[in-house]
Amino acid sequence: MILHLSSRIPLNPFSTLSLTSLSNGESQDENLVQREKEKGKGKRERERERERERERRQKKFTMCPKQHKHRASSTGLPEWITESIHGGSLLHVDLETGTNGWASPPGDLFFLRSRNYFTKKQKSPAGDYLLLPVGMDWLRSTTKLDNVLARPDNRIAQALKKAQSQGKSLKSFIFAVNLQVPGKDQHSAVFYFATEDPIPLGSLLYRFVNGDDAFRNQRFKIVNRIVKGPWIVKKAVGNYSACLLGKALTCNYHRGPNYLEIDVDIASSTIASAILHLALGYVTSVTIDMGFLVESQAEDELPERLLGAVRVCQMEMSSAFVVDAPHAIVNSRGLGPAKVNHDDDADIAEKKC
């Protein structure tokens, strides 16, 4: 509420206030009122602009799954990729409304090191992924699952193998991250990303894929965003956090002829295990974005790029495919066999970037 000061001038009975000075005072008060009005108008205009920007961003993010679907149909994704996206123990769901499934969040939700990071410490929206998210598996077993892409009935590997037997997708490459969750029953959350094109020779991704484990441990990075969840999870995990997984946890790298799988042993850190099990206690009410990248540590490696990202939407623990024997996998929900095989082979710290 704006007060008209001209009606509230404190008149001192012991002073001689001329009509001229009163008139000047009223003029000054009117100017003050006008400035207050303009200030309020500017504030309202800024609020309206912020609201328009929120609406534009919301529209962009809401349309994202439809845009991906349109691109898939218009560009004719290979059959093996389409089969991979729509298979698995967790369904491919809507980015905003989906539950008990996975989706692909826009890269711009993540802020990574920009081109001038080493001089100005600036970060910028990540932009498009380097690789295409092609699926997620949520698995349960009596023992830890290692190198799942090497199993003869892994659904992703078999889909690509079938395509290549027909002379298709001969240059395709799969990048997989297997988060191994310890417990009475061992669980694995496996995220798959792929490309149909050869990885550019000499690129940071090429060096990572073909480098040694020491190099990989210094560079393999995850960025997390809690999209939805109770405050205790946000407090434990952080609304937005980044970590060099290769330095914080034990990572085992499996390089195949057309894939690289990274098995992340969460049990190798007591703190990481405690945080994860706390989050799993609220898993049906948690939605989290996870992005993976190779950290840039030199000027010519900037800007950083996401290899890929996945949104896990309010997952149910019971959705896991149960892996009990080398060639027998039963869906715990009774939906039939899965195509991932049991593998017979046998302090997390946020990195400030």
Return the sign of the alpha-carbon dihedral for residues 140, 311, 97, 69: negative
- For the residues 217-222, what does the mean pLDDT come to? 98
Residue 222 one-letter amino acid? I
d(CA 227, CA 99): 13
- For the residues 28-33, what does the mean pLDDT come to? 53
Residue 58 has pLDDT above 80, yes or no: no
d(CA 300, CA 248): 26
Q: What pLDDT shows up at residue 49? A: 58
Q: Residues near 123 by Cβ (< 8 Å), separated by ≥ 6?
A: 111, 112, 113, 114, 117, 353
More confident residue, 343 or 91: 91
pLDDT digits (tens, 9 = 90+) for 146-195: 999 998 879 999 999 999 999 999 999 999 999 999 988 999 999 999 99
d(CA 228, CA 168): 40
Q: Which two tokens stand for residue 236?
A: 């434990």
Q: Residues near 184 by Cβ (< 8 Å), separated by ≥ 6?
A: none
Q: What pLDDT shows up at residue 299? A: 96
pLDDT digits (tens, 9 = 90+) for 111-139: 999 999 999 999 999 999 999 999 999 99
Q: What pLDDT shows up at residue 235? A: 86
d(CA 125, CA 15): 64
Residue 265 has pLDDT above 80, yes or no: yes
Contacts 24+ apart (CB under 8 A), 109-112: 109/61, 109/225, 109/289, 110/223, 110/225, 110/289, 110/291, 110/306, 110/309, 111/240, 112/223, 112/293, 112/303, 112/304, 112/305, 112/306
Q: What pLDDT shows up at residue 245? A: 95
Could you tell me which of 287, 321, 87, 337 has the C-alpha nearest to residue 187?
Answer: 321
pLDDT digits (tens, 9 = 90+) for 85-104: 999 889 999 999 999 999 99
Phi-psi region at 167: left, alpha or beta (left = phi > 0; alpha = psi -120 to 50)? left
Could you tell me which of 321, 333, 327, 19 has the C-alpha nearest to residue 140?
Answer: 321
Q: What pLDDT shows up at residue 222? A: 97
More confident residue, 60 or 205: 205
Q: Please give the share of the chain, as a percent, with pLDDT higher than 70.
A: 70
Residue 197 one-letter amino acid? D
Q: What pLDDT shows up at residue 13? A: 35
pLDDT digits (tens, 9 = 90+) for 229-256: 999 998 888 888 899 999 999 999 999 9
Q: What pLDDT shows up at residue 121? A: 95
pLDDT digits (tens, 9 = 90+) for 184-218: 899 999 999 999 999 999 999 999 999 999 999 99
pLDDT band at 28 (very low <50, low <70, confident <90, very high): low
Q: What pLDDT shows up at residue 77? A: 93
pLDDT band at 21 (very low <50, low <70, confident <90, very high): very low
Q: What pLDDT shows up at residue 151? A: 87
Q: What pLDDT shows up at residue 238? A: 80
Q: What pLDDT shows up at residue 97? A: 95
Q: What pLDDT shows up at residue 239? A: 80
